[in-house]
Amino acid sequence: MFSALPPVTRALLIANIAVFIVQGFADDSLILLFALWPFGTPAYTGPEAPAGFLPWQLVTYSFLHGNGLHLFVNMLGLFMFGSEVERVLGYQRYFTYYFVSVLSAALAQLVMSALAAGPPYPTVGASGGVFGLLLAYGMFFPRRIVMLIFPPIPMPARMFVIFYAAIEIYLGVTGTQAGVAHFAHLGGMLGGFLMLRRWRRRRFD
């Protein structure tokens, strides 16, 4: 079953799981160097220095996860939605699409962290890329039925995307679920939407 997955989705699953295993044996330097830290925090220069933003974190944060449940939920979304989206886009465009979503999620998180008060904290997880895939899945297969995990309610994919986007906006604005980068999720969806729109325009130009 795993070998039947399209190549980029399979590689992303392997990479995320491998990095999580490495996290289990690594010290805090992995988070200090590769998690996404807000602008304005000092750059990391050694064991005694505080963590800070570094350019490669715009991508590397997406391969780190906070715990096993965090990894499982993101990899389930990557497996469910990424496979179908990759078959529609092809592996080259899919690769571009995924990492555009990752980058746009990172930029949204950096903007929100700059506006927020309080001490800096790192952002990790593939959620921005996965939310971009969720948006693409809803656009490509709007009537396909998707089952919510909690509560277990079936709904068309288009409604599923709208429901999740609305929940993310509510939780992000109200701050109800602290410690979750809701605006990064929305940033991933926005970046994916703009990428798909750009490709569609170029197709008909």
Structural domains present in the chain: 2-204 (1.20.1540.10)
Cα separation, 178 vs 155, whole angstroms: 27
Percentage of residues of the chain with pLDDT beyond 70: 86
Q: Is the pLDDT score of 159 beyond 80?
A: yes
pLDDT at 121: 82
pLDDT at 182: 82
Pair 46, 52: CB distance under 8 Å = no
pLDDT at 201: 81
Give tens-digit pLDDT for 25-49.
988 888 888 999 988 766 555 555 5
pLDDT at 138: 95
At residue 151 the predicted structure's pLDDT band, cuts being 50, 70 and 90, is low
Give tens-digit pLDDT for 84-118.
999 999 999 999 999 999 999 999 999 988 887 66
In DSSP notation, the chain reads -GGGS-HHHHHHHHHHHHHHHHHHHS-THHHHHHSBPPTTSPPP-STTSPP---TTHHHHGGG--SSHHHHHHHHHHIIIIIHHHHHHH-HHHHHHHHHHHHHHHHHHHHHHHHHS-S----B--SHHHHHHHHHHHHHHSTTSEEE-SSS--EEEHHHHHHHHHHHHHHHHHHT-STT--HHHHHHHHHHHHHHHHHHHHHHH-
Cα 169 from chain centre: 16
Quick count: other Cβ atoms within 10 Å of Cβ 30? 16
pLDDT at 179: 65
At residue 200 the predicted structure's pLDDT band, cuts being 50, 70 and 90, is confident
Q: Is the pLDDT score of 178 beyond 70?
A: no
Give tens-digit pLDDT for 47-82.
555 568 889 999 999 999 999 999 998 999 999 999
Percentage of residues of the chain with pLDDT beyond 90: 56
Average pLDDT, rounded, for the chain:
87
